[in-house]
């Protein structure tokens, strides 16, 4: 049976070149903290990979810190900034459409006496800039707004938010897990203090990520133990995973604009084809200021789980939103925050394309989707 993978926002299949490179360098088994030859060889790989990632992102090598992935990086940015700057204040600003790695961390910080302000978003999922300005107080220590939403793909005005934060002496973290490799990023120009990323979102291995920490940023360690990562993140580094992450990022960013344009063209054909052929279908997120491969659509009088089961039976892998929230009976907090009615939000699915998505794949999805939606609506009556 034909199989089409359209859940690339959840994770991407590992690139064959990345896998081969990881296998090639798996023989370097040494601990990079050891001073003997095997350790020095591992350290050399670690340093080289750090330099590759820093170069692609426009950062200094000593501003890249390795982690186990995007969730750890986001947790570290928020908790590390909160604890390190508690003497200044305990006020944090974020948005209601953030990934759970940010929202749940903020809610936990409330238990430690921190005040959290959630900035509203418009119907497209874009944060209210004026509301951010008004929310900043003397004791505000951190703003955390994601670069691109993981469910609806909307891009945020990160440059503008970074400028506002800087003018007020407030740290700014952006969750760029979905943005890295999909939009050009130059950390030397972006103006953020911290940026989190995860390798498996750009065809690298799972279980490895990074946190960019601008030089001079006051941040507490998140994991205590040894002196790895210059004393800021203890634990032996996942050298082979980091090698894979560097290789994956290099491949993904080789022609980021050209590749993104090709993916966006297929995305728009899929969006237009679905909306034109199915009554009661509505696009969620900004029509143009969105990730090149993101398609999030609500179907009236349907349930997402029923749609996903029928799509899977037809050989199409999709999702109802964040993979981290799969199995949850709750309707998407992102869609509700954007003002999407609960009944429509219940019938929303996410199809996310990659450079591997073909025109034939789009044709196939457009061919079966009307029937699948009709069957779901009939069974719901």
| Dihedral angle, C-alpha 236, 147, 260, 55, nearest 10 ° | -40
Question: Tokens 């996310």 map to which residue?
Answer: 352
The pLDDT of residue 328 is 54
CA–CA gap between residue 172 and residue 71 (Å, rounded):
17
CA–CA gap between residue 194 and residue 176 (Å, rounded):
10
Domains of the chain: 4-12+255-380 (3.90.1150.10), 16-252 (3.40.640.10)
The pLDDT of residue 380 is 63
Q: Which pTM value belongs to this model? A: 0.96
Do residues 360 and 265 touch, judged by C-beta distance below 8 A?
Answer: no
CA–CA gap between residue 308 and residue 320 (Å, rounded):
8
Question: Tokens 């993104």 map to which residue?
Answer: 260
Paired tokens of 121: 């978003």
User: Catalytic positions, please?
Assistant: 324
The pLDDT tens digits along the chain (381 residues) read 789 999 999 999 999 999 999 999 999 999 999 999 999 999 999 999 999 999 999 999 999 999 999 999 999 999 999 999 999 999 999 999 999 999 999 999 999 999 999 999 999 999 999 999 999 999 999 999 999 999 999 999 999 999 999 999 999 999 999 999 999 999 999 999 999 999 999 999 999 999 999 999 999 999 999 999 999 999 999 999 999 999 999 999 999 999 999 999 999 999 999 999 999 999 999 999 999 999 999 999 999 999 999 999 999 999 997 655 555 567 999 999 999 999 999 999 999 999 999 999 999 999 999 999 999 998 765
Question: Tokens 């944060």 map to which residue?
Answer: 127
């Amino acid at each position: 049976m034909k199989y089409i993978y359209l859940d690339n926002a959840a994770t991407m299949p590992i690139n064959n070149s990345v896998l081969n490179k990881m296998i090639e360098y798996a023989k370097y088994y040494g601990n990079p903290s050891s001073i003997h030859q095997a350790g020095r060889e591992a350290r050399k790989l670690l340093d080289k990979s750090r330099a590759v990632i820093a170069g692609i992102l426009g950062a200094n090598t000593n501003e890249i810190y390795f982690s186990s992935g995007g969730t750890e990086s986001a947790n570290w940015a928020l908790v590390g900034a909160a604890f390190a700057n508690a003497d200044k204040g305990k006020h944090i600003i974020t948005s209601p459409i953030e990934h759970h790695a940010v929202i749940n961390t903020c809610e936990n910080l409330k238990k430690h006496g921190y005040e959290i302000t959630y900035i509203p978003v418009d119907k497209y999922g874009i944060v209210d800039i004026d509301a951010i300005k008004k929310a900043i107080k003397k004791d505000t220590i951190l703003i955390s707004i994601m670069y691109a939403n993981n469910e609806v793909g909307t891009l945020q005005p990160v440059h503008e938010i970074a400028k506002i934060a800087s003018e007020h002496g407030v740290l700014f973290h952006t969750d760029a897990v979905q943005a890295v490799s999909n939009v050009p990023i130059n950390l030397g120009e972006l103006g953020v203090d911290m940026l989190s990323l995860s390798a498996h979102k750009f065809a690298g291995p799972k279980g490895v990520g990074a946190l960019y920490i601008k030089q001079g940023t006051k941040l507490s360690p998140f994991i205590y133990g040894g002196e790895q990562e210059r004393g800021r993140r203890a634990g032996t580094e996942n050298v082979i995973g980091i090698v894979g992450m560097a290789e994956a990022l290099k491949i993904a960013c080789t022609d980021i604009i050209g590749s993104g344009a090709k993916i966006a063209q297929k995305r728009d054909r899929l969006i237009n084809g679905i909306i034109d052929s199915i009554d009661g279908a509505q696009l969620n997120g900004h029509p143009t200021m969105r990730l090149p491969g993101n398609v999030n659509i609500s179907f009236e009088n349907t349930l997402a789980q029923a749609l996903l089961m029928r799509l899977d039976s037809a050989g199409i892998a999709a999702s109802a939103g964040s993979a981290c929230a799969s199995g949850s009976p709750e309707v998407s907090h992102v869609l509700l925050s954007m003002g999407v009615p609960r009944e429509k939000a219940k019938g929303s699915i996410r199809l996310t394309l990659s450079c591997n998505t073909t025109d034939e794949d789009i044709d196939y999805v457009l061919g079966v989707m009307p029937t699948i939606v009709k069957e779901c609506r009939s069974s719901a009556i």
